[in-house]
């Protein structure tokens, strides 16, 4: 059991961190024995824990006792851990004086963590506040230059490694679905449903340019294939017949997605009201945010999607900044679909510090806006569904891979090969850490002038090959909600056996998770006897469990 000592204003951050690192912990109770104590305070009471970790970017009583010098002049805010460059966003200090180096800075090898041997175990002194880092990641989000680093997951892995290095086993419920390596959540923002609705406006002229001159320039630069150029020219030349209703509207791709995804299913986020650009949108072309359709005009398509098992969510306009308008938009989806619980992703990914609370008050079950427009990666540093700060129930399904970020000329404008290189980094981390990879492929991205369907199909194949379990957005949110409802009430190690007592508040619903046991570097005289250093134990909701470490 981990005992936590922290400031009162950090308690909510601690609670959320340990929903992501789902392992036995509690706020420290004086007089109770703990194998591990973590503190962000200046001074901690005398404890006999086998491992004490002090996180602070300020001098502490331990520093004075041990003659440690603290220097706030840090030249590099990246730290090295297990072949990963890990950015630190809050205050950071380096140390001089005695102690064994534990963590070093990236370029100049400044020591920002030290290890000390004590009579009862080890003390680790770390030069940043872990919970300040969590606060930044889950509210501000990482800058784009560090987007491909799963920073929060790396913090969890770092803490776990310190515990096992101290000879203490770690038991956790990993964010891994039974029988799979991670979740894959496929989503589609429906900004356009028909090119017939756009005649001689900026959307039509933009399509005309990109389908003709733009695609030819891309071919000359070696960034696309000739068959795509031909398809785009043919689509442009067919516009008169499409407008006349003599040819199918090639921007209506609802059926195409159901064919590509087959039994996988996905979530479609639809606009509630047409011709509304929304308020408080800071963009030179904010008037172009308004769409020419709304969800009531695609009722037949919605009905077919729901019948086939697909999910409908809200592509919100003003829900991110106004509770009243959020309720109106939510009611529009409920009236069209009959769903009781509705998730949301805001159009153009508009979002601010107040958005989670506004969306929760409006009545949404989850949000999936937290991601990048300009790149792909881990904005919150995590692959897990999390609860934003200052809300009680709303969960955030973070966005990781977006088609327009990869290929759009005004964004990264990558070739297929370049895009695969970045996507593989995200899939590698999902395979390593678990969690959910959320993919956004826009409605018109299968059609001319984009023609990104082949890449999407190959992405689905790669996700299958990586052992992903495909789920709709509401399903993966519910899985994480169930995981959050599990509490470790008791934890002890008796000899070579871990004893647990757990409580599940899932209202009698069937539950099945892995309990993952990370063996310590040394258990008595035994070394780990498998290459991974951990094993998984299938848990189906029993209240008391005994797990032998060998």
Least confident range from 145-154, 201-210, 228-237, 514-523: namely 514-523
In this predicted structure, the answer to whether residue 523 has a pLDDT above a threshold of 50 is no
Sort 533 into a burial class: Cβ within 10 Å, 0-12 / 13-18 / 19+: middle
User: φ, ψ for residue 195 (rounded to 5)?
Assistant: -80, -15
31 — pLDDT class (breaks 50, 70, 90): confident
Other C-beta atoms within 10 Å of 100: how many? 12
pLDDT score for 509 = 60
Instruction: Look at 90-99, 184-193, 333-342, 509-518 and tell me which has the smallest mean pLDDT.
Output: 509-518
Least confident stretch, 241-245, 292-296, 420-424, 536-540: 536-540
Give the pLDDT confidence score for residue 510 in this predicted structure: 75
> Where along the chain do the CATH 3.20.20.370 domains lie?
182-194+251-278+288-480
Query: 81 or 26: which carries more pLDDT confidence?
Result: 26
Tell me which H or E stretch contains 97.
Answer: none
Per residue in 114-152, pLDDT tens? 999 988 899 999 999 999 999 999 999 999 999 999 999
Residues forming CATH 3.40.50 domain(s) in the chain: 2-166
pLDDT at 521: 72
Question: What is the per-residue pLDDT for 72?
Answer: 84
How high is the pLDDT of residue 506?
67
SS (H, E, C) 401-468: EEHHHHHCCCCCCCCHHHHHHHHHHHHHHHHHHCCEEEEECCHHHHCCCCCCHHHHHHHHHHHHHCCE
Element (H, E) at 295: none
Average pLDDT over residues 165-185: 96
Assess contact for 404 and 449: CB atoms under 8 A. Answer: no
pLDDT band at 82, cuts 50/70/90? Answer: low
Q: Which of 73, 79, 131, 132 shows the shortest CA–CA distance to 101?
A: 79
On the question of pLDDT at 342 being above 90, the answer is: yes
pLDDT digits (tens, 9 = 90+) for 363-383: 999 999 999 999 999 999 999
Give the length of the chain: 550
- 104 pLDDT more than 90: no
Average pLDDT over residues 226-251: 96
Written as six digits, the tokens of 184 are: 């894959």
Whether residue 526 has pLDDT greater than 70: no
Q: Can you tell me the distance from the alpha carbon of 519 to that of 530, in angstroms, rounded to the nearest whole number?
A: 9
pLDDT-derived band of residue 532, with 50, 70 and 90 as boundaries?
low
Tokens of 412: 């990264």
Instruction: Please tell me the predicted confidence (pLDDT) of residue 61.
Output: 96
What is the arithmetic mean of pLDDT over 316-340?
A: 96
- Asked whether the predicted pLDDT for residue 79 surpasses 90, the reply is no
**What average pLDDT score do residues 14-34 get?**
95
The residues, any chain, with a CB within 8 Å of residue 83's CB and separated by 6 or more, are none
User: What does the block give as tokens for 310?
Assistant: 């697909």
Question: CB of 203 within 8 A of CB of 289?
Answer: no
* pLDDT for 524: 41
pLDDT band of 429, cuts 50, 70, 90: very high
Q: Are 451 and 231 in contact (CB under 8 A)?
A: yes
Predicted pLDDT at 533? 86
Reply yes or no on whether the pLDDT at 528 is more than 80: no
CA separation, residue 419 to residues 382, 402, 429, 524 (Å): 20, 11, 16, 48
CA distance 522 to 168: 8
Residues pairing with 346 in the sheet: 316
Look up the CATH superfamily of 182-194+251-278+288-480.
Answer: Glycoside hydrolase/deacetylase (3.20.20.370)
- In terms of Cβ atoms closer than 10 Å to its own Cβ (0-12, 13-18, 19+), residue 92 is buried
**Predicted confidence (pLDDT) per residue in 501-518, tens digit:** 999 886 556 788 999 999
Is pLDDT at 529 greater than 60 in this prediction? no
Look up residue 29 and give its two tokens: 């109770």
DSSP 228: H
CATH 3.30.300 for the 2-166 domain, yes or no? no
Q: What percent of the chain has pLDDT over 70?
A: 96
Mean pLDDT computed over 162-181: 95
Task: Please give the structure tokens belonging to residue 43.
Answer: 């001074």
Short-list 326, 339, 333, CA closest to 294: 333
Q: Which residue in this structure is represented by tokens 């017949």?
A: 241
Phi, psi of 390 (to 5 degrees): 70, 25
Tokens of 273: 């009201």
Q: Which has the minimum average pLDDT: 220-234, 256-270, 375-389, 497-511?
A: 497-511
């Amino acid at each position: 059991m981990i005992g936590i000592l922290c400031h009162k204003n950090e308690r909510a951050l601690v609670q959320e961190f340990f929903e992501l690192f789902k392992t036995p912990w509690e706020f420290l109770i004086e007089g109770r024995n703990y194998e591990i104590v973590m503190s962000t305070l200046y001074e901690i009471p005398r404890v006999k824990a086998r491992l004490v970790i002090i996180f602070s970017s300020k001098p502490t009583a331990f520093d004075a006792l041990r003659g440690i010098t603290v220097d706030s002049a840090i030249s590099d805010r990246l730290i090295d851990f297990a072949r990963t460059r890990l950015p630190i966003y809050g205050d950071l200090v380096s140390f001089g004086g005695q102690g064994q180096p534990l963590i070093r800075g990236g370029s100049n090898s400044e020591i920002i963590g030290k290890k000390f041997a004590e009579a009862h175990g080890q003390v680790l002194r770390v030069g940043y506040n872990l919970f300040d880092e969590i606060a930044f990641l889950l509210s501000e989000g990482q800058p784009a230059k560090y987007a491909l680093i799963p920073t929060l997951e790396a913090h969890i892995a770092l803490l776990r490694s310190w515990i096992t290095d101290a000879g203490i086993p770690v038991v956790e419920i990993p964010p891994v679905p039974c029988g799979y390596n991670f979740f894959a959540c496929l989503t589609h923002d429906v900004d356009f449903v028909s090119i017939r609705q756009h005649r001689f406006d900026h959307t039509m002229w933009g399509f005309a340019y990109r389908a003709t001159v733009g695609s030819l320039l891309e071919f000359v630069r070696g960034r696309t294939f000739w068959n795509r150029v031909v398809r785009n020219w043919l689509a442009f030349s067919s516009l008169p017949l499409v407008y006349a209703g003599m040819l199918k509207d090639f921007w209506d791709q609802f059926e195409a997605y159901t064919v590509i995804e087959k039994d996988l299913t996905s979530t479609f986020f639809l606009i509630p009201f047409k011709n509304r650009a929304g308020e408080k949108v800071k963009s030179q072309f904010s008037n172009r945010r308004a769409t020419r359709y709304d969800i009531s005009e695609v009722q037949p398509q919605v009905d077919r999607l729901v019948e086939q098992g697909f999910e409908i969510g809200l592509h919100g306009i003003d829900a991110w900044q106004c509770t009243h308008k959020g309720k109106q938009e939510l009611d529009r989806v409920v009236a069209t679909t009959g769903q009781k619980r509705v998730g949301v992703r805001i159009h153009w990914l508009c979002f601010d510090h107040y958005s989670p609370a506004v969306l929760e008050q409006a009545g949404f079950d989850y949000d999936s806006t937290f991601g990048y427009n300009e790149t792909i990666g881990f904005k919150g540093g995590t692959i897990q569904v999390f609860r934003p700060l200052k809300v009680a129930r709303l969960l955030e399904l973070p966005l990781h891979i977006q088609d327009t970020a990869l290929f759009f000329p005004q964004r990264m404008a990558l070739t297929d090969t370049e895009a695969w290189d970045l996507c593989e980094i995200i899939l590698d981390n999902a395979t390593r850490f678990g969690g959910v990879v959320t993919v956004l492929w826009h409605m018109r991205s299968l059609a001319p002038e984009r023609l990104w369907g082949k890449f999407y199909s190959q992405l689905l194949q790669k996700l299958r090959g990586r052992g992903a379990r495909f789920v709709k957005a509401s399903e993966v949110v519910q899985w994480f909600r169930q995981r959050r409802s599990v509490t470790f009430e008791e934890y002890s190690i008796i000899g070579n056996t871990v004893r647990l007592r757990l409580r599940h508040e899932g209202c009698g619903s069937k539950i099945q998770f892995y309990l993952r046991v990370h063996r310590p570097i040394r258990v008595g005289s035994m070394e780990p006897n498998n290459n991974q250093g951990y094993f998984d134990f299938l848990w189906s909701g029993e209240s008391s469990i005994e797990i032998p470490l060998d």
